[in-house]
C-alpha cells in the first residue's frame, strides 16, 4: 500500500508538470493566432488616438504575455521541479489570469473595492511566486537554504494575505463551479455534433478555412481549461495552505507563537476591515445629504463644504454602468445558473451568498424600489443615474456631462473593445466628425464686409452624425445664407430657404428621423445662433469578396457647408463668429484652415480667429436705406452719447445661482457702478436655496461677500421671481446680473411675464449664454432691451434708445427707423440686410402686444424672406428633395408655424451607458471560443454596416 502511494506521489507531480506545459503551449498558440493580432493592434491604435487609456492596453498586453513569462520562469528556474511547475500554474498563473481577465473584460472603470481586492491578490500571488523560487532545492542540495528572519517574516505576511484573499476569492468562484461543471459536461456531450462531416469539410471556403487554426487552438484551450478549472478551488487553496503552513512553522522557530498568531489575526482582520472600507460607495452619502434641502445659510454652506464628496457620489451613481456589474437587488445570477440544479429556496440562499462575495462588483442601490428582477432590466442604473444627473444640475447649476466631462470621457474609454471605446469617447468628447477643411473669405465693402465660411466634414464613425454649433456674432451682424453640397462645386450645392422658425424646426426634426439631408440655421438670442447639419454620412468599408475580409476602411463621403454673413468693422477688423459650444465635431493640426486663401494655424480648441484684419476700413458715413415698405433705416456714428438721468429708477435682479460664486468681484463692481441711481435689488432664489427670493434697496454698505450662491436657475426663473416680487413698483428699466449658465438647464416652467420697460440681461465678463428659450427671448427683445457684457454697456445703450425701439445704439452706431420721406442720402442696397435686421427688432418693440398674433409675425417674416436673413422668428433651412419642399409648404400654413420646441443642449451627445456584463457573461468573454466568435462576428458586422 505504501509503495502504491509513493508511486502515485511520484507520478502526480509529473502529470502536473505535463499539464503546465500543454496548457501554456496551447494558450500561447491561441494568443498568437487570435487574441494578440486581433485585439491588441486595435487597442494600440485606440491608445495612440486617445480613445482608450494606456492602462487598458497594459492590462491586455499583460494578459497576453503572462503565459509566456510564466513559461520562461518555469523553464529557467523550475524545469527540474515538476511539482513546483504544477504549483506555478495553479497557484500563480491561473489566479493571475483570472484576475487580469476579470479586470480586462468584465469592468470598465474599477471602484475602490475591486482595486483593493485585485491589489492584495496580486501582492499575495507575487509572494507565492517568490516562495516557489526561493524554497526550491539548489543543485546538489536536499533542501533550500533557510532565509533570514526578516525575509521569512515578510514572506509569511504575504502568504497570510494570499491565504485570506484566496479563501475569499475561491469561495466566491466555487459558487459558479456546479453550473460550470454541468455546462462543461454538456459541452463534451455535444462535441461529436460539432465535428463537420466530410461533405461539410469539402464545402468550406477560404474565409472559413482561415479561422481553423484559431478555432482549433481555442477548442483545445477550452477543453483543457475546463478540466483544470473544475479542481481549481481545491488545488489552489491546498497549495496556498501548504505554503503558508510551512512558512508559519519556519517563522515560529524564530519568533514567539503569540507574535506569529497575532500577525495572522491582524492581517486577517485588517484585510476584512479594509475590504469593507474600500467597498463603501460615495453615492449613499451624496443622496442622503441632498435628500433634505438646506433650511438656512449655515446648512447650505455646510453642504457646499462637502461639494467634492457630493459630486463624487453623484458621479459614481451616474457612471454605475461603467463601474459595476449589477446593482444590489437586481443581481439574479444564481437563480439563472441554478435554475435546473436547485430549488428556489436554495437558489435564494446561493444568491445571498453570492452577493456577499460580489460586493466589489455590485452597485449599492439607494432606493430598493428601483430594483427589478427582470433580465437585462438594469432599472437601478437607469433610474439612479438619471436622478444623480438631475441633482447635479439642480445644485451645481450645470449638466453633469459638462461639469464632470473629463471623468466621464475617461470612464467610457475604459474597455477592451477598441471599437466600443472609440465610439463611446467620440460620442462624449465630440469627436465623431472631423473638420477636414475650413475656409474664411472676407469681401470688404468699405464700412462693412461679407464673410463666407466654408467647411468640409468627414464622419469618423460607422453611424450617421449631426454637427451642431452654438455661436455668437455682434448684434448688428446678420446671417444671409447657408448651403449644403456633396462636393465643392457651388453650382451643385443645395440652397437655403427662409422659413418660419417653428415650421423650419419641424421639417428638420422630421428629416433627421428619416435620415435625409437638411441644415438648419436659427437665432436663439440677441447675438446667439445655432447651426445644425445632418447627416454626415458614415465611414465605409471595402470588402474583399474573394478572400472574405475587410481590405480597407474609408472615411465617410465629405459633406460641404457654406454660411454667409454681413458684419460691421470693429477696431479695423472684421469680427468672426465666436464659438460657444460644439457637438460631434473636432479639428486637429491636420485640418486645413485658410483665411482669404492663406493658411493659418489654430489650436484644437479654437474654431475661428476672433477677427480678420481689414485691408481698408472706410470712415462710416451716414446711410439711409429705403426698405420699400414705407420705412427707412438711417445709420450714422453718434455725435455724442447721452447719459442716463440721475432720477432713472432701476430694478436690479441678482442671480444667486451656484455658478455665480465665481463672479463675486464682478458683482461687487457692477453694483458699485449703479450707486448713482435709485436701485431696488432683487435677490433670486433657486428651488433648493435656503433663503427665499427677496427685495431690498441697494445701499453702499451692501456686502456681496455675504451672498450665498446656491442651486441653479434658468433665465425665465429670474424673470418669474422678479414679477412675483415687483408688485406695484414702477421702474424705468430692469437689469439682470447673471453669467453664461442657464440655457443648458432647459426652459422655465410656467408663463414668462412680460416687461414693459427695457429689460437687459447683463452677463458679467461678457460671458454670454448659448442662448435663451423663445419665451424669454421674446420678452427681452420686445421690451427694447437685450444682452450686454457689462453694466456700463447696458446703461449706455439704455440712455441712447427710444422707448418704442425706433432709435438704438448698437455696435458704436446710432440706428433710427423713420417713415420714408423721399429724400434719400445714400441708398446702399447691399447694406439692406443689416438695415432689415434692425427694422425687425424695432418692430418687435413697437408691436410687443401683438407678438402672439400671426399677422404681425407674418409681416416680420416677409421682410426676412425678402432680404434672406435669419431673425428671431425666421430660420434658414436647406432642403434637398421635393418631398421636403412640400412638407415645408404645408407646415408654413399651420397656426403653429412660429412655435419652436426647446431643443435640449447636447441631445446628439448622449452618453452610451452600456451596462457591464454580469459574472456569467465574463466567463463567456474569457473563454477562447467566445473570442473566436467575437472575431468572426466583428468582421461580419462591419461588412453588414458597409453594405447598408
How high is the pLDDT of residue 628? Answer: 83
> Measured between alpha carbons, how far is 333 from 176 in angstroms, rounded to an integer?
10
> Measured between alpha carbons, how far is 260 from 441 in angstroms, rounded to an integer?
81
Name which of 810, 820, 816 is nearest 842 in CA terms.
Answer: 816
Residue 607 has pLDDT above 90, yes or no: yes
Residue 923 has pLDDT above 50, yes or no: no
* pLDDT, average across residues 63-70: 80
* pLDDT, average across residues 163-190: 85
Are the C-beta atoms of residues 432 and 585 closer than 8 Å to each other?
A: yes
How high is the pLDDT of residue 918? Answer: 38
DSSP 144: P
> Measured between alpha carbons, how far is 605 from 325 in angstroms, rounded to an integer?
36
39-47 long-range contacts (CB < 8 A, ≥24 apart) are 39/416, 39/418, 39/931, 40/64, 42/418, 42/419, 43/416, 43/418, 45/418, 46/413, 46/418, 46/421, 46/422
> Measured between alpha carbons, how far is 191 from 941 in angstroms, rounded to an integer?
28
Residue 95 has pLDDT above 90, yes or no: no
Longest alpha-carbon distance in the chain: 128
Q: What is the pLDDT confidence band of residue 622, given thresholds at 50, 70 and 90?
A: confident
788: β partners: 762
Name which of 322, 417, 462, 421 is nearest 40 in CA terms.
Answer: 417
The DSSP result for 358-394, as a single string, is TGGGEE--S-GGG---STT--HHHHHHHHHHHHHHHH
Q: Average the pLDDT over each of 547-556, 759-768, 909-918 and give the range with the smallest value.
A: 909-918
* pLDDT, average across residues 799-818: 92
- Highest mean pLDDT: which range of 293-302, 394-403, 522-531, 691-700: 522-531
How high is the pLDDT of residue 624? Answer: 87
How high is the pLDDT of residue 495? Answer: 93
* pLDDT, average across residues 612-633: 85
The DSSP result for 63-104, as a single string, is HHHHHHHHHHHHHHHSTT-HHHHHHHIIIIIHHHHHHHHIII
* pLDDT, average across residues 494-513: 92
Which residue did the predictor score with more confidence, 944 or 170?
Answer: 170
How high is the pLDDT of residue 548? Answer: 45
861 SS3 class: helix
* pLDDT, average across residues 552-572: 88
How high is the pLDDT of residue 639? Answer: 87
Parallel, antiparallel, or unpaired for β 813-819 and 631-636?
antiparallel
How high is the pLDDT of residue 629? Answer: 85
DSSP 487: S
Name which of 573, 594, 351, 640 is nearest 455 in CA terms.
Answer: 594
How high is the pLDDT of residue 674? Answer: 93
* pLDDT, average across residues 568-577: 93
Q: What are the pLDDT digits (tens) for 180-201?
A: 888 878 877 777 776 666 676 6
Which residue did the predictor score with more confidence, 110 or 529?
Answer: 529
Q: Average the pLDDT over each of 10-19, 221-230, 611-620, 874-883 and give the range with the smallest value.
A: 10-19
Are the C-beta atoms of residues 238 and 128 closer than 8 Å to each other?
A: no
> Measured between alpha carbons, how far is 570 from 831 in angstroms, rounded to an integer?
17
Residue 454 has pLDDT above 90, yes or no: yes
Q: What is the pLDDT confidence band of residue 921, given thresholds at 50, 70 and 90?
A: very low
Name which of 805, 790, 887, 875 is nearest 838 in CA terms.
Answer: 805
Are the C-beta atoms of residues 861 and 873 closer than 8 Å to each other?
A: yes
Strand arrangement, sheet containing 786-788: 694-697, 679-683, 650-654, 733-738, 759-763, 786-788
Peptide bond into 535 cis (omega under 30): yes
* pLDDT, average across residues 33-41: 61
How high is the pLDDT of residue 65? Answer: 79
Q: Residue 365 CB: number of other CB atoms within 10 A? A: 23
Q: Average the pLDDT over each of 135-144, 396-405, 675-684 and give the range with the smallest value.
A: 135-144
Parallel, antiparallel, or unpaired for β 362-363 and 326-327?
parallel
Q: What is the pLDDT confidence band of residue 235, given thresholds at 50, 70 and 90?
A: confident
560 SS3 class: strand
Q: What is the pLDDT confidence band of residue 824, given thresholds at 50, 70 and 90?
A: low
How high is the pLDDT of residue 770? Answer: 92
Q: What is the pLDDT confidence band of residue 938, given thresholds at 50, 70 and 90?
A: very low
CA 798 from centre of chain: 41
Q: What is the pLDDT confidence band of residue 372, given thresholds at 50, 70 and 90?
A: low
Residue 326 has pLDDT above 80, yes or no: yes
Q: Average the pLDDT over each of 227-241, 313-327, 334-348, 588-602 and give the range with the smallest value.
A: 227-241
* Predicted TM-score of the model (pTM): 0.79
> Measured between alpha carbons, how far is 584 from 791 in angstroms, rounded to an integer?
35
For the chain, give the percent of residues with pLDDT over 90.
45
> How far, CA to CA in Å, does 481 sit from each of 375, 414, 485?
52, 43, 14
Name the average pLDDT for the chain: 83
How high is the pLDDT of residue 679? Answer: 94
Q: What are the pLDDT digits (tens) for 523-555?
A: 999 999 999 998 899 887 665 554 444 446 677
Residue 568 has pLDDT above 90, yes or no: yes
Q: What is the pLDDT confidence band of residue 906, given thresholds at 50, 70 and 90?
A: low
Residue 377 has pLDDT above 60, yes or no: no
289 SS3 class: helix
Torsion angles phi and psi, residue 626, rounded to 5: -85, 115
Residue 940 has pLDDT above 60, yes or no: no
How high is the pLDDT of residue 845? Answer: 92
Q: What is the pLDDT confidence band of residue 425, given thresholds at 50, 70 and 90?
A: low
Residue 930 has pLDDT above 50, yes or no: no
How high is the pLDDT of residue 182? Answer: 84
Residue 140 has pLDDT above 60, yes or no: no
469 SS3 class: strand
Q: CA angle at residue 926 from 923 to 931, to 5 degrees?
A: 125
First to last CA, the chain: 72
HSE-CB of 12 using CA atoms within 13 angstroms:
9
Amino acid at each position: 500500500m505504501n509503495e502504491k502511494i509513493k508511486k502515485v506521489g511520484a507520478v502526480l507531480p509529473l502529470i502536473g508538470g505535463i499539464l503546465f506545459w500543454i496548457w501554456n503551449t496551447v494558450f500561447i498558440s491561441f494568443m498568437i493566432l487570435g487574441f494578440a493580432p486581433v485585439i491588441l493592434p486595435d487597442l494600440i491604435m485606440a491608445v495612440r488616438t486617445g480613445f482608450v487609456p494606456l492602462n487598458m492596453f497594459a492590462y491586455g498586453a499583460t494578459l497576453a504575455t503572462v503565459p509566456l513569462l510564466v513559461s520562461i520562469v518555469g523553464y529557467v528556474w523550475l524545469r527540474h521541479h515538476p511539482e513546483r511547475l504544477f504549483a506555478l500554474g495553479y497557484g500563480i498563473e491561473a489566479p493571475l489570469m483570472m484576475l487580469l481577465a476579470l479586470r480586462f473584460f468584465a469592468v470598465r472603470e474599477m471602484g475602490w473595492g475591486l482595486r483593493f481586492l485585485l491589489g492584495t491578490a496580486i501582492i499575495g500571488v507575487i509572494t507565492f511566486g517568490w516562495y516557489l523560487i526561493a524554497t526550491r532545492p539548489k543543485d546538489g542540495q536536499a533542501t533550500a537554504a533557510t532565509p533570514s528572519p526578516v525575509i521569512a517574516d515578510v514572506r509569511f505576511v504575504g502568504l497570510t494575505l494570499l491565504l485570506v484573499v484566496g479563501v475569499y476569492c475561491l469561495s466566491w468562484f466555487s459558487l459558479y463551479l456546479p453550473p460550470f461543471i454541468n455546462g462543461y459536461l454538456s459541452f463534451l456531450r455535444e462535441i461529436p455534433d460539432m465535428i463537420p462531416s466530410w461533405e461539410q469539410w469539402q464545402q468550406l471556403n477560404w474565409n472559413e478555412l482561415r479561422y481553423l487554426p484559431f478555432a482549433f487552438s481555442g477548442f483545445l484551450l477550452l477543453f483543457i481549461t475546463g478540466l483544470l478549472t473544475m479542481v481549481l478551488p481545491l488545488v489552489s487553496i491546498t497549495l496556498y495552505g501548504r505554503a503558508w503552513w510551512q512558512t508559519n512553522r519556519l517563522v515560529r522557530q524564530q519568533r514567539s507563537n503569540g507574535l506569529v498568531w497575532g500577525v495572522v489575526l491582524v492581517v486577517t482582520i485588517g484585510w476584512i476591515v479594509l475590504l469593507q472600507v474600500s467597498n463603501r460607495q460615495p453615492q449613499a452619502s451624496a443622496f442622503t445629504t441632498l435628500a433634505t434641502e438646506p433650511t438656512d445659510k449655515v446648512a447650505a454652506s455646510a453642504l457646499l463644504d462637502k461639494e467634492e464628496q457630493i459630486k463624487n457620489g453623484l458621479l459614481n451613481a451616474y457612471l454605475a454602468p461603467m463601474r459595476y456589474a449589477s446593482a444590489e437587488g437586481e443581481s439574479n445570477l444564481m437563480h439563472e445558473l441554478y435554475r435546473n440544479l436547485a430549488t428556489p429556496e436554495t437558489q435564494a440562499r446561493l444568491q445571498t451568498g453570492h452577493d456577499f462575495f460580489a460586493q466589489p462588483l455590485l452597485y449599492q442601490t439607494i432606493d430598493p424600489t428601483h430594483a427589478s428582477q427582470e433580465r437585462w432590466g438594469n432599472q437601478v442604473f437607469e433610474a439612479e443615474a438619471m436622478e444623480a444627473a438631475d441633482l447635479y444640475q439642480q445644485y451645481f447649476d450645470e449638466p453633469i456631462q459638462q461639469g464632470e466631462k473629463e471623468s466621464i470621457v475617461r470612464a467610457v474609454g475604459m474597455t477592451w473593445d477598441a471599437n466600443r471605446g472609440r465610439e463611446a469617447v467620440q460620442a462624449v468628447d465630440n469627436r465623431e466628425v472631423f473638420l477636414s477643411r475650413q475656409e474664411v473669405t472676407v469681401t470688404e465693402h468699405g464700412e462693412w464686409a461679407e464673410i463666407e465660411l466654408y467647411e468640409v466634414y468627414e464622419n469618423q464613425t460607422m453611424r450617421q452624425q449631426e454637427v451642431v454649433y452654438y455661436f455668437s456674432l455682434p448684434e448688428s451682424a446678420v446671417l444671409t445664407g447657408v448651403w449644403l453640397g456633396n462636393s465643392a462645386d457651388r453650382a451643385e450645392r443645395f440652397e437655403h430657404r427662409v422659413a418660419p422658425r417653428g415650421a423650419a424646426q419641424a421639417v428638420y426634426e422630421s428629416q433627421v428621423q428619416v435620415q435625409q439631408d437638411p441644415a438648419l440655421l436659427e437665432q436663439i438670442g440677441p447675438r446667439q445662433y445655432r447651426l445644425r447639419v445632418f447627416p454626415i454620412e458614415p465611414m465605409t468599408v471595402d470588402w474583399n469578396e474573394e478572400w472574405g475580409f475587410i481590405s480597407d476602411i474609408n472615411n465617410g463621403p465629405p459633406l460641404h457647408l457654406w454660411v454667409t454673413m454681413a458684419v460691421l468693422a470693429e477696431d479695423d477688423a472684421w469680427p468672426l463668429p465666436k464659438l460657444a459650444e460644439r457637438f460631434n465635431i473636432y479639428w486637429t493640426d491636420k485640418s486645413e484652415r485658410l483665411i482669404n486663401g492663406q493658411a493659418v494655424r489654430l489650436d484644437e480648441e479654437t474654431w475661428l480667429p476672433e477677427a480678420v484684419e481689414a485691408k481698408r476700413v472706410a470712415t462710416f458715413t451716414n446711410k439711409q436705406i429705403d426698405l420699400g415698405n414705407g420705412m427707412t433705416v438711417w445709420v450714422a456714428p453718434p455725435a455724442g452719447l447721452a447719459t442716463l438721468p440721475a432720477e432713472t429708477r432701476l430694478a436690479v435682479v441678482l442671480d444667486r445661482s451656484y455658478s455665480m460664486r465665481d463672479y463675486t468681484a464682478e458683482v461687487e463692481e457692477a453694483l458699485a457702478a449703479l450707486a448713482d441711481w435709485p436701485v431696488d435689488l432683487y435677490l433670486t432664489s433657486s428651488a433648493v436655496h435656503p433663503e427665499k427670493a427677496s427685495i431690498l434697496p441697494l445701499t453702499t454698505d451692501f456686502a456681496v461677500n455675504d451672498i450665498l450662491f446656491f442651486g441653479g436657475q434658468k433665465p425665465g426663473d429670474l424673470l418669474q421671481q422678479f414679477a412675483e416680487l415687483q408688485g406695484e413698483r414702477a421702474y424705468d428699466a430692469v437689469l439682470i446680473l447673471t453669467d453664461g449658465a442657464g440655457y443648458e438647464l432647459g426652459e422655465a416652467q410656467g408663463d414668462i411675464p412680460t416687461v414693459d420697460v427695457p429689460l437687459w440681461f447683463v452677463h458679467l465678463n461678457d460671458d454670454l449664454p448659448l442662448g435663451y428659450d423663445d419665451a424669454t427671448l421674446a420678452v427681452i427683445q420686445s421690451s427694447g432691451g437685450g444682452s450686454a457684457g457689462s453694466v456700463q454697456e447696458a446703461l449706455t445703450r439704455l440712455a441712447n434708445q427710444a422707448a418704442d425701439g425706433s432709435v438704438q445704439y448698437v455696435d458704436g452706431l446710432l440706428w433710427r427707423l423713420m417713415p420714408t420721406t423721399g429724400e434719400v442720402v445714400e441708398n446702399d442696397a447691399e447694406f439692406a440686410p443689416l438695415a432689415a435686421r434692425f427694422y425687425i427688432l424695432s418692430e418687435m418693440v413697437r408691436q410687443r402686444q401683438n407678438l402672439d398674433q400671426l399677422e404681425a409675425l407674418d409681416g416680420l417674416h416677409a421682410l426676412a424672406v425678402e432680404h434672406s436673413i435669419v431673425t428671431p422668428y425666421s430660420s434658414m433651412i436647406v432642403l434637398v428633395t421635393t418631398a421636403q419642399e412640400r412638407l415645408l409648404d404645408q407646415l408654413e400654413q399651420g397656426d403653429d408655424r412660429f412655435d419652436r420646441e426647446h431643443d435640449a443642449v447636447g441631445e446628439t451627445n448622449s452618453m452610451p451607458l452600456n451596462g457591464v456584463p454580469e459574472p456569467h457573461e465574463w466567463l463567456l468573454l474569457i473563454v477562447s471560443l467566445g473570442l473566436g466568435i467575437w472575431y468572426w462576428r466583428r468582421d461580419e458586422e462591419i461588412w453588414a454596416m458597409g453594405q447598408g
